[in-house]
Amino acid sequence: MTLTNSLESRLGYQLRRASSVMMADLSRELADLDLRPAEVTTLLVIAENPDCSQTEVGQALAIKRANMVPIISRLMERGLVDRRRLDGRSHALTLTQEGRTMAAEAVARIDRHENRFTELLGALDADVLFRALPIIRAAREAELES
């Protein structure tokens, strides 16, 4: 028997299901690099913003300070990220050469991954998504005010 499911008409539900499909696909694409999604995003943000700090990366990615710690640790252990003491509190993060290589490979895979999905959507739909999703995201601030 196939069940009815009125949740299908809910935006939040659709978003969650769609997001989870893409996350699963991404994880698979990155599996043999032994990089978790959260680690790749961190790697890419550091690549674009040399000498940024840990909390800055966290802010850009909506990852809490406390949760950045193991991510950075692991990236450093693997020799992908290097850090230099800036002042008594903060560090400046950069990619090692190996980190840059890894980041390039990751970007290539993310491109493939993204293309698999955007190909299924018309250009117009994709445009709307890129306009609408940030609106939903931004609602958080409005929400926090109230």
> Looking at beta carbons only, is 30 or 80 nearer to a copy of itself?
30
Q: How far is the CB of 122 from a copy of itself (least distance, A)?
A: 9
How far apart are CB 36 and a copy of itself at their closest, in Å?
Answer: 13
3-state secondary structure (DSSP) of residue 87: coil
Q: Which is nearer to a copy of itself, 31 or 129 (CB)?
A: 129
Q: In this structure, what token pair is assigned to residue 66?
A: 């406390």
For residue 127, CA distances in Å to 11, 111, 131, 134 come to 18, 17, 6, 12
Which of DNA, a copy of itself, none does 96 bind, CB closer than 5 to 8 A by kind? Answer: none
Q: How many CB atoms lie within 10 A of CB 62?
A: 9
Is the CB of residue 45 less than 8 Å from the CB of residue 57? yes
For position 104 contacting a copy of itself by CB under 8 A, the verdict is no
CA distance 63 to 46: 14
Footprint on this chain of a copy of itself (rule: CB under 8 A): 1-26, 41, 44-45, 48-49, 52, 56-57, 59-62, 110, 113-114, 116-118, 120-121, 124-126, 128-137, 139-140, 143
